[in-house]
A and B are shown apart, each in its own frame.
Chain A
Amino acid sequence: MPEERKKILEVKHLKQYFKNGRTVTKGVDDVSFDIYEGEVFGLVGESGSGKTTTGRSILQLYKPTSGEVLFEGKDVAKLHGRDEQLAFRRDAQMIFQDPYASLNPRMTVEDIIAEGLDIHHLVKDKAERRKRVEDLLETVGLNRNHASRFPHEFSGGQRQRIGIARALAVEPKFIVADEPISALDVSIQAQVVNLMIDLKKQHDLTYLFIAHDLSMVKFISDRIGVMHYGKLLEVGSADEVYEHPLHDYTKSLISAVPQPDPEIERSRKRIDYEYGKFEGDGKDDQRSMHEIRPGHFVKCTDDEVAYYEKVAQSYEK
């Protein structure tokens, strides 16, 4: 049960505002959630919903405006000294969205993968470095002789594997995967997702999986958070959120996902989202996460709880 499991990451009231001249863009606005050790937490939302910003703020790639990010109980914004900083950077890694832009074209695959090894002094000599890189290449399903090649010699799927090998090199505990498959073809997407699942089991990893492809997120995630306009609207187990969505926005998002089945497609009814009913009506600052069903949270005011309880009950019939 969730209570007994260890939290690896706690995000508390995270706010990330961007100043743009006189206007302030609330990229992430008061987002709180926990990630338990060994789980895959999926973050879904449209572009501009703040899911990537959330992932980057967690890894301190941005300095959050306010709020806390606790990794294994420690506030990552207040780590003392280079040692603690390095330790966090080693434990928490990132896989980027675009495998074409995230690998330095002038570095060999060996240097790309071993950069972390060098920084963290994890290898003694060149031979060990080479061996580690070759092992990692094999782990992610690439040929071990490819270490001296350059990124342009690889396809998109292979590059994403290199990105994964780079993240794995320093033996992290936690990986933020920001749309790792969006740029890949369908048949290759399945390969990379399966690889990520296998690696998670072998290396006891925890993932924050960010994506806009809902069916893929549902497939890989244990729990899912739905973001819209910088706010986290709903959190719950993957099945709960998909089968019994509470927030109108989640319902609308799920109804828009096309299914590879002509009959379902012919009868699919899209649900339009009415912005301003349960979000953006001026009462947003009164809304906080309420647990409607065990482990299933929705962002609402105290008054709206009754409504969502009714929604939840309607699924039981």
Chain B
Amino acid sequence: MANRILDVKNLKIDFHTYAGEVKAIRDVSFHLDEGETLAIVGESGSGKSVTTRSIIGLLAKNSQIMGGQILFHGKDLLKISEKEWQQIRGNQIAMIFQDPMTSLDPTMKIGQQIAEPLIKHKGASKKEAWAKALEMMKAVGISNAEERINQYPHQFSGGMRQRIVIAIALICEPEILLADEPTTALDVTVQAEILDLMKDLQKRVKTSIIFITHDLGVVAGMADRVNVMYAGEFLEKGTVDEIFYNPQHPYTWGLINSMPTLTSEKLESIPGTPPDLLDPPKGDPFAPRNKYAMKIDAQMKPPFFKVSETHQAATWLLHPDAPKVTPPDEIVRRWEHYKELQAADKD
């Protein structure tokens, strides 16, 4: 059994706004094992960023935890003081933010910014920290590090800044790295380099990663396990192969189907828009956009049905009494491939 380092149980988070209570996270549970990468996929507003921010104690002021636990080595992170947070944040749990243009301090030399966590958390001297920062810059692939360590963020390109942000996040060798759309703002070639870099560093430092993205291509390459998030809930959880080759929830079908592959001829879009979480739907939140929806979907929230030991999906379609539906062609093709994979595994 892998070593479980994070266990999130029945997390519920509301936001107070002028319009009312936004139920951003509605009963979310997941776990993270040592050394693995968990991807959380979903559209903007689905609650993926709020979930990660709650793990590092950086929720907005108008938020309120309505219930649940975030157990990190058995300690509930929702109950600790800001002082305790400062011991953990940036040290045991670190975060890479989405926008490399705004997540660095423009008035600080980048060497200082990379070295700062070591001085704060590990009690390193300035000299030691500076040397380690230089080493880290080389590790994340910044050439001419001796010279560039004295430069300021504006002297770096977007890709280079994201490398610096990664260096800052990893310098204390955190147990958990939260990566919130770390490559969305970057070009594909730079994205590929950054992702390779993250994989390399993960192997060396044995960090567990929670990877937030809406890009399924990136997920397929990075994740061990995938959780699909929608309207503040998880709709499907499984290993990367289970989600991509044996998806069960119609929302996951829709997501996969709306991505053009380099060979696809037709693009299927999901009609409509996500629900307003001021007044969250009673049943399956995806039901109004789902052409496979049944009557019960609007009335009652489906529980998680078990597909395999590692795979669950919250859709009434998996209920034994549900009618058999034929998913889109692309999904049928993937299902068939999954059967081949399983057959190959048995041999």
Contacts and interface: CB of A to CB of B under 8 A. Distances in A.
A265 interface: yes
B255 interface: yes
A222 B190 CA distance: 27
A313 interface: no
A262 B267 contact: no
A interface, over-half SS = helix
Interface string A12-47: 000000000000000000000000000000000011
A186 B274 CA distance: 12
Given A194-B267, A218-B262, A260-B261, A47 B158 contact: yes
A253 B259 contact: no
Contacts of B217: 215, 257-260, 265
Interface in B274-319: none
Interface string B316-338: 00000000000000000000000
Interface residues of A, number: 38
A264 interface: yes
Contacts of A259: 217, 220, 261-262
A216 B260 CA distance: 6
Interface string B30-53: 000000000000011000000000
A307 interface: no
A261 to B, nearest CB: 6
A273 B260 contact: no
A108 interface: no
Given A258-B220, A258-B221, A262-B240, A253 B271 contact: no
Interface of B: 43-44, 158, 187-192, 195-196, 214-221, 240-241, 244-245, 254-256, 258-262, 264, 267-271, 273
Contacts of B44: 156, 185
19 contacts: A158-B273, A186-B43, A187-B43, A188-B43, A191-B271, A193-B267, A215-B259, A215-B262, A253-B188, A258-B188, A258-B192, A258-B195, A258-B218, A258-B221, A259-B220, A261-B244, A261-B261, A262-B220, A265-B220
A139 interface: no
Contacts of B189: 46, 252-253, 256, 273
A194 B269 contact: yes
Given A186-B259, A194-B269, A260-B244, 17 more contacts: A46-B189, A47-B187, A187-B255, A188-B43, A190-B269, A193-B267, A194-B267, A214-B262, A215-B262, A216-B260, A258-B191, A258-B192, A259-B220, A260-B261, A261-B244, A266-B221, A273-B189
A310 interface: no
A157 interface: yes
